[in-house]
Amino acid sequence: MKKVTVIGQLHQSGLDILYGHGGLEITEFTDPKVPVSKASITGADALLVRTGNLTTEDIRDAVNLRVVSRHGVGCDNLPVDALSARGIPVTIVGPVNAISVAEQTLTMMLTLTKRVAEYDRAVRSGDWEFRNSLRSNELAGKTLLLLGLGRIGSEVAKRAAAFDMNILAYDPYQSAEVIRSAGATRIEVWFGALGSADILSIHLPLSDATRNIIDAKALAAMKPGAIILNAARGGLIDEAALFHELGGRMASGGAGLDVFEVEPPPLNTPLLTLPNVVVSPHSAAMTEQSARKMAEVSAHNVIAGLEGGLDPALIFNRKALADRGQHET
Protein backbone atom coordinates (compact mmCIF):
# COMPACT_ATOMS: atom_id res chain seq x y z
CA MET A 1 0.00 0.00 0.00
CA LYS A 2 1.31 3.42 -0.97
CA LYS A 3 0.85 6.05 1.72
CA VAL A 4 -0.72 9.38 0.76
CA THR A 5 -1.01 12.29 3.18
CA VAL A 6 -3.55 15.00 2.36
CA ILE A 7 -2.87 18.34 4.06
CA GLY A 8 -5.87 20.68 4.00
CA GLN A 9 -9.55 20.20 3.27
CA LEU A 10 -10.07 18.67 -0.17
CA HIS A 11 -13.26 18.74 -2.24
CA GLN A 12 -14.99 15.39 -1.99
CA SER A 13 -14.57 14.71 -5.71
CA GLY A 14 -10.80 14.62 -5.23
CA LEU A 15 -11.04 12.33 -2.23
CA ASP A 16 -13.33 10.02 -4.20
CA ILE A 17 -10.60 9.63 -6.81
CA LEU A 18 -7.99 8.74 -4.20
CA TYR A 19 -10.15 6.39 -2.15
CA GLY A 20 -11.59 4.80 -5.28
CA HIS A 21 -8.23 4.05 -6.84
CA GLY A 22 -7.23 1.21 -4.55
CA GLY A 23 -3.82 0.41 -3.20
CA LEU A 24 -3.55 3.71 -1.35
CA GLU A 25 -3.48 4.28 2.39
CA ILE A 26 -4.76 7.82 2.86
CA THR A 27 -4.31 10.04 5.90
CA GLU A 28 -6.18 13.35 5.99
CA PHE A 29 -5.37 16.48 7.98
CA THR A 30 -8.31 18.79 7.33
CA ASP A 31 -8.31 20.92 10.48
CA PRO A 32 -5.67 23.69 10.30
CA LYS A 33 -5.63 23.76 14.11
CA VAL A 34 -4.41 20.15 14.21
CA PRO A 35 -0.71 19.88 13.35
CA VAL A 36 0.36 17.37 10.74
CA SER A 37 2.21 14.55 12.44
CA LYS A 38 5.83 14.07 11.50
CA ALA A 39 5.23 10.38 10.80
CA SER A 40 2.55 11.25 8.25
CA ILE A 41 5.13 13.19 6.26
CA THR A 42 8.23 11.06 6.74
CA GLY A 43 6.31 7.88 5.95
CA ALA A 44 4.47 9.21 2.92
CA ASP A 45 4.96 8.12 -0.67
CA ALA A 46 2.97 11.15 -1.81
CA LEU A 47 1.88 14.44 -0.28
CA LEU A 48 -1.14 16.40 -1.47
CA VAL A 49 -0.86 19.91 -0.08
CA ARG A 50 -3.68 22.42 -0.15
CA THR A 51 -2.87 24.57 2.88
CA GLY A 52 0.01 25.03 5.26
CA ASN A 53 3.75 25.17 4.73
CA LEU A 54 6.33 22.44 4.30
CA THR A 55 9.99 23.02 5.04
CA THR A 56 13.20 21.32 4.02
CA GLU A 57 13.37 19.91 7.53
CA ASP A 58 9.86 18.46 7.20
CA ILE A 59 10.73 16.36 4.16
CA ARG A 60 14.33 15.49 5.08
CA ASP A 61 13.46 12.02 6.42
CA ALA A 62 10.68 11.29 3.91
CA VAL A 63 12.77 8.64 2.19
CA ASN A 64 9.86 7.11 0.25
CA LEU A 65 8.49 10.39 -1.07
CA ARG A 66 7.80 10.20 -4.82
CA VAL A 67 5.65 13.25 -5.54
CA VAL A 68 4.29 16.40 -3.91
CA SER A 69 0.98 17.45 -5.46
CA ARG A 70 0.09 21.09 -4.91
CA HIS A 71 -3.62 21.93 -4.77
CA GLY A 72 -3.12 25.19 -6.69
CA VAL A 73 -0.44 26.82 -8.81
CA GLY A 74 1.70 28.75 -6.33
CA CYS A 75 4.44 26.75 -4.61
CA ASP A 76 5.96 29.34 -2.28
CA ASN A 77 4.75 27.21 0.66
CA LEU A 78 6.89 24.25 -0.43
CA PRO A 79 10.67 23.57 -0.30
CA VAL A 80 10.87 23.29 -4.07
CA ASP A 81 14.67 23.51 -4.25
CA ALA A 82 15.12 20.72 -1.73
CA LEU A 83 12.57 18.54 -3.52
CA SER A 84 14.20 19.21 -6.88
CA ALA A 85 17.61 18.28 -5.47
CA ARG A 86 16.17 14.89 -4.59
CA GLY A 87 14.49 14.45 -7.96
CA ILE A 88 10.97 14.70 -6.54
CA PRO A 89 8.43 16.33 -8.86
CA VAL A 90 6.20 19.09 -7.53
CA THR A 91 2.94 19.22 -9.46
CA ILE A 92 0.36 21.95 -9.88
CA VAL A 93 -3.20 22.05 -11.20
CA GLY A 94 -2.59 24.23 -14.25
CA PRO A 95 -5.27 26.57 -15.55
CA VAL A 96 -8.31 25.08 -13.79
CA ASN A 97 -8.63 27.96 -11.30
CA ALA A 98 -7.82 30.78 -13.72
CA ILE A 99 -11.40 31.77 -14.53
CA SER A 100 -12.44 31.89 -10.87
CA VAL A 101 -9.49 34.10 -9.90
CA ALA A 102 -9.97 36.33 -12.94
CA GLU A 103 -13.65 36.79 -12.11
CA GLN A 104 -12.79 37.70 -8.51
CA THR A 105 -10.26 40.23 -9.79
CA LEU A 106 -12.91 41.83 -12.00
CA THR A 107 -15.37 41.75 -9.10
CA MET A 108 -12.98 43.75 -6.94
CA MET A 109 -12.21 46.08 -9.83
CA LEU A 110 -15.91 46.85 -10.31
CA THR A 111 -16.59 47.07 -6.58
CA LEU A 112 -13.92 49.75 -6.22
CA THR A 113 -14.54 51.75 -9.40
CA LYS A 114 -18.31 51.75 -8.82
CA ARG A 115 -17.86 52.37 -5.05
CA VAL A 116 -20.26 49.53 -4.31
CA ALA A 117 -19.24 49.11 -0.67
CA GLU A 118 -19.45 52.86 0.02
CA TYR A 119 -22.89 53.19 -1.57
CA ASP A 120 -24.07 50.14 0.35
CA ARG A 121 -22.93 51.65 3.65
CA ALA A 122 -24.55 54.98 2.76
CA VAL A 123 -27.96 53.44 2.14
CA ARG A 124 -27.80 51.37 5.32
CA SER A 125 -26.89 54.47 7.35
CA GLY A 126 -29.69 56.57 5.84
CA ASP A 127 -27.39 58.78 3.75
CA TRP A 128 -29.38 58.65 0.50
CA GLU A 129 -27.85 61.91 -0.72
CA PHE A 130 -24.49 60.18 -0.95
CA ARG A 131 -25.63 59.26 -4.46
CA ASN A 132 -24.83 62.84 -5.51
CA SER A 133 -21.18 62.57 -4.54
CA LEU A 134 -20.31 61.36 -8.08
CA ARG A 135 -17.45 59.28 -6.80
CA SER A 136 -17.83 56.25 -9.07
CA ASN A 137 -16.23 55.76 -12.48
CA GLU A 138 -16.64 53.81 -15.68
CA LEU A 139 -14.13 51.16 -16.69
CA ALA A 140 -14.44 52.08 -20.36
CA GLY A 141 -11.41 54.03 -21.47
CA LYS A 142 -9.47 53.39 -18.27
CA THR A 143 -5.93 52.01 -18.44
CA LEU A 144 -5.33 48.63 -16.81
CA LEU A 145 -1.73 47.59 -16.15
CA LEU A 146 -1.21 43.86 -15.70
CA LEU A 147 1.97 42.64 -14.04
CA GLY A 148 2.11 39.09 -15.34
CA LEU A 149 0.13 37.65 -18.23
CA GLY A 150 0.07 33.96 -17.44
CA ARG A 151 -3.02 31.81 -17.06
CA ILE A 152 -4.88 34.21 -14.77
CA GLY A 153 -3.57 37.48 -16.15
CA SER A 154 -4.67 36.45 -19.65
CA GLU A 155 -8.19 35.72 -18.44
CA VAL A 156 -8.32 39.11 -16.69
CA ALA A 157 -7.18 40.80 -19.91
CA LYS A 158 -9.91 39.12 -21.97
CA ARG A 159 -12.60 40.26 -19.56
CA ALA A 160 -11.19 43.77 -19.25
CA ALA A 161 -11.22 44.07 -23.04
CA ALA A 162 -14.97 43.48 -22.96
CA PHE A 163 -15.24 46.63 -20.82
CA ASP A 164 -13.36 48.62 -23.49
CA MET A 165 -10.36 49.17 -21.27
CA ASN A 166 -6.89 50.09 -22.50
CA ILE A 167 -4.77 47.13 -21.39
CA LEU A 168 -1.01 47.22 -20.84
CA ALA A 169 0.83 44.03 -19.94
CA TYR A 170 4.28 43.32 -18.60
CA ASP A 171 5.49 39.74 -18.88
CA PRO A 172 9.01 39.08 -20.16
CA TYR A 173 8.21 35.37 -20.52
CA GLN A 174 5.34 35.84 -22.99
CA SER A 175 5.71 36.53 -26.68
CA ALA A 176 4.34 39.66 -28.27
CA GLU A 177 1.81 37.50 -30.12
CA VAL A 178 0.46 35.95 -26.91
CA ILE A 179 0.11 39.38 -25.32
CA ARG A 180 -1.55 40.78 -28.42
CA SER A 181 -3.99 37.85 -28.62
CA ALA A 182 -5.08 38.63 -25.05
CA GLY A 183 -6.04 42.13 -26.18
CA ALA A 184 -3.13 43.84 -24.46
CA THR A 185 -0.22 46.05 -25.46
CA ARG A 186 3.20 44.83 -24.43
CA ILE A 187 5.39 47.08 -22.30
CA GLU A 188 9.07 46.48 -21.62
CA VAL A 189 9.49 48.48 -18.39
CA TRP A 190 6.65 48.06 -15.92
CA PHE A 191 7.77 50.75 -13.49
CA GLY A 192 7.60 53.41 -16.17
CA ALA A 193 3.97 52.52 -16.89
CA LEU A 194 2.75 52.95 -13.31
CA GLY A 195 2.02 56.63 -13.79
CA SER A 196 -0.38 55.95 -16.66
CA ALA A 197 -2.31 53.15 -14.95
CA ASP A 198 -5.76 53.77 -13.52
CA ILE A 199 -5.81 50.19 -12.26
CA LEU A 200 -2.88 47.90 -11.45
CA SER A 201 -3.54 44.17 -11.23
CA ILE A 202 -0.76 41.88 -10.03
CA HIS A 203 -0.44 38.31 -11.33
CA LEU A 204 3.05 37.25 -10.28
CA PRO A 205 4.46 34.37 -8.25
CA LEU A 206 6.05 35.22 -4.93
CA SER A 207 9.83 34.89 -4.92
CA ASP A 208 12.84 36.74 -3.59
CA ALA A 209 12.78 38.80 -6.79
CA THR A 210 9.11 39.77 -6.52
CA ARG A 211 8.68 40.20 -2.76
CA ASN A 212 7.45 43.76 -2.06
CA ILE A 213 7.75 44.54 -5.76
CA ILE A 214 5.05 47.16 -5.15
CA ASP A 215 6.85 49.21 -2.53
CA ALA A 216 6.73 52.83 -1.41
CA LYS A 217 8.63 53.96 -4.50
CA ALA A 218 6.26 52.17 -6.87
CA LEU A 219 3.18 53.48 -5.07
CA ALA A 220 4.53 57.03 -5.19
CA ALA A 221 4.73 56.72 -8.98
CA MET A 222 1.01 55.94 -9.31
CA LYS A 223 -1.94 58.26 -9.81
CA PRO A 224 -3.63 59.50 -6.61
CA GLY A 225 -6.88 57.82 -7.65
CA ALA A 226 -5.36 54.54 -8.84
CA ILE A 227 -6.72 51.15 -7.81
CA ILE A 228 -4.46 48.21 -6.93
CA LEU A 229 -5.63 44.59 -7.14
CA ASN A 230 -3.85 41.55 -5.77
CA ALA A 231 -5.33 38.06 -5.94
CA ALA A 232 -1.92 36.45 -6.48
CA ARG A 233 0.21 36.26 -3.34
CA GLY A 234 0.60 38.22 -0.14
CA GLY A 235 4.08 39.66 0.07
CA LEU A 236 4.02 41.16 -3.42
CA ILE A 237 2.90 44.47 -1.92
CA ASP A 238 4.51 46.31 0.97
CA GLU A 239 1.39 46.53 3.14
CA ALA A 240 2.76 49.27 5.38
CA ALA A 241 3.53 51.45 2.36
CA LEU A 242 0.12 50.69 0.85
CA PHE A 243 -1.64 51.71 4.05
CA HIS A 244 0.32 54.95 4.14
CA GLU A 245 -0.60 55.86 0.56
CA LEU A 246 -4.27 54.80 0.66
CA GLY A 247 -4.76 56.71 3.89
CA GLY A 248 -3.17 59.82 2.43
CA ARG A 249 -2.20 60.77 -1.11
CA MET A 250 -4.14 57.89 -2.70
CA ALA A 251 -7.26 58.22 -0.54
CA SER A 252 -9.39 58.68 -3.67
CA GLY A 253 -8.07 55.36 -4.98
CA GLY A 254 -8.34 51.95 -3.40
CA ALA A 255 -7.16 48.37 -3.18
CA GLY A 256 -8.75 44.97 -3.63
CA LEU A 257 -6.86 42.29 -1.72
CA ASP A 258 -7.52 38.56 -1.67
CA VAL A 259 -4.11 37.81 -0.15
CA PHE A 260 -1.99 39.16 2.69
CA GLU A 261 1.55 39.04 4.06
CA VAL A 262 0.22 37.10 7.05
CA GLU A 263 -2.81 34.86 6.60
CA PRO A 264 -5.20 35.18 8.19
CA PRO A 265 -4.37 38.85 8.78
CA PRO A 266 -4.59 40.00 12.41
CA LEU A 267 -7.77 41.94 13.09
CA ASN A 268 -5.68 44.99 13.93
CA THR A 269 -4.03 45.00 10.49
CA PRO A 270 -4.02 48.71 9.52
CA LEU A 271 -5.30 48.10 5.98
CA LEU A 272 -8.51 46.62 7.40
CA THR A 273 -9.38 50.01 8.91
CA LEU A 274 -9.54 51.80 5.55
CA PRO A 275 -12.90 52.28 3.80
CA ASN A 276 -11.28 52.18 0.35
CA VAL A 277 -9.92 48.66 0.79
CA VAL A 278 -11.99 45.63 -0.25
CA VAL A 279 -10.82 42.25 1.02
CA SER A 280 -11.57 38.54 0.78
CA PRO A 281 -10.00 35.56 2.62
CA HIS A 282 -7.69 34.15 -0.09
CA SER A 283 -10.83 32.73 -1.66
CA ALA A 284 -10.60 33.92 -5.27
CA ALA A 285 -10.08 30.38 -6.53
CA MET A 286 -12.58 28.79 -4.17
CA THR A 287 -15.68 28.56 -6.30
CA GLU A 288 -17.51 25.25 -6.38
CA GLN A 289 -16.32 24.64 -9.93
CA SER A 290 -12.70 25.55 -9.31
CA ALA A 291 -12.45 23.70 -5.98
CA ARG A 292 -13.78 20.55 -7.59
CA LYS A 293 -11.41 20.74 -10.56
CA MET A 294 -8.36 21.56 -8.41
CA ALA A 295 -9.10 18.62 -6.13
CA GLU A 296 -9.54 16.25 -9.04
CA VAL A 297 -6.38 17.33 -10.86
CA SER A 298 -4.27 17.26 -7.69
CA ALA A 299 -5.58 13.76 -6.90
CA HIS A 300 -4.81 12.53 -10.41
CA ASN A 301 -1.31 14.04 -10.07
CA VAL A 302 -0.75 11.95 -6.93
CA ILE A 303 -1.66 8.78 -8.78
CA ALA A 304 0.37 9.69 -11.85
CA GLY A 305 3.34 10.57 -9.68
CA LEU A 306 3.23 7.16 -8.02
CA GLU A 307 2.52 5.13 -11.13
CA GLY A 308 4.21 7.18 -13.84
CA GLY A 309 2.68 9.31 -16.57
CA LEU A 310 2.80 12.80 -15.10
CA ASP A 311 1.80 15.56 -17.50
CA PRO A 312 5.02 17.58 -18.01
CA ALA A 313 2.96 20.78 -18.24
CA LEU A 314 1.84 20.23 -14.64
CA ILE A 315 5.32 19.68 -13.18
CA PHE A 316 6.26 22.94 -11.50
CA ASN A 317 9.96 22.10 -11.15
CA ARG A 318 10.41 20.29 -14.47
CA LYS A 319 13.34 22.49 -15.53
CA ALA A 320 15.18 21.88 -12.27
CA LEU A 321 14.55 18.16 -12.60
CA ALA A 322 15.78 18.19 -16.19
CA ASP A 323 18.92 20.11 -15.21
CA ARG A 324 19.55 17.65 -12.40
CA GLY A 325 19.23 14.75 -14.82
CA GLN A 326 21.72 16.34 -17.20
CA HIS A 327 24.24 16.83 -14.40
CA GLU A 328 23.93 13.21 -13.34
CA THR A 329 24.54 11.75 -16.80
Per-domain boundaries in the chain: 2-96+288-328, 98-279
* Model pTM score: 0.87
- As to burial, measured by CB atoms within 10 angstroms (0-12 exposed, 13-18 middle, 19+ buried), residue 249 is middle
| Residue from 302, 260, 263 nearest 277 by CA | 260
Is there a catalytic annotation at residue 233? yes
Of the residues 25, 57, 138, 263, only one is catalytic, namely: 263
Of the residues 71, 233, 239, 296, only one is catalytic, namely: 233
Looking at residue 31, its pLDDT comes to 87
Is there a catalytic annotation at residue 151? no
Looking at CATH, the fold of the domain delimited by 2-96+288-328 is given as: Rossmann fold (3.40.50)
- Distance of alpha carbon 288 from alpha carbon 277, whole angstroms: 26
Omega of the bond leading into 35 within 30 degrees of 0 (cis)? no
Per-residue pLDDT of the chain (329 residues; tens, 9 = 90+): 999 999 999 999 999 999 999 899 999 998 888 889 999 999 999 999 998 889 999 999 999 999 999 999 989 899 999 999 999 999 999 999 999 999 999 999 999 999 999 999 999 999 999 999 878 999 999 999 999 999 999 999 999 999 999 999 999 999 999 999 999 999 999 999 999 999 999 999 999 999 999 999 999 999 999 999 999 999 999 999 999 999 999 999 999 999 999 999 999 999 999 999 999 999 999 999 999 999 999 999 999 999 999 999 999 999 878 876 644 43
- The answer to whether 47 touches 75, Cβ cutoff 8 Å, is no
**CATH fit for domain 98-279, picks 3.40.50.720, 1.10.10.410, 3.40.50.10860, 3.90.190.20:** 3.40.50.720
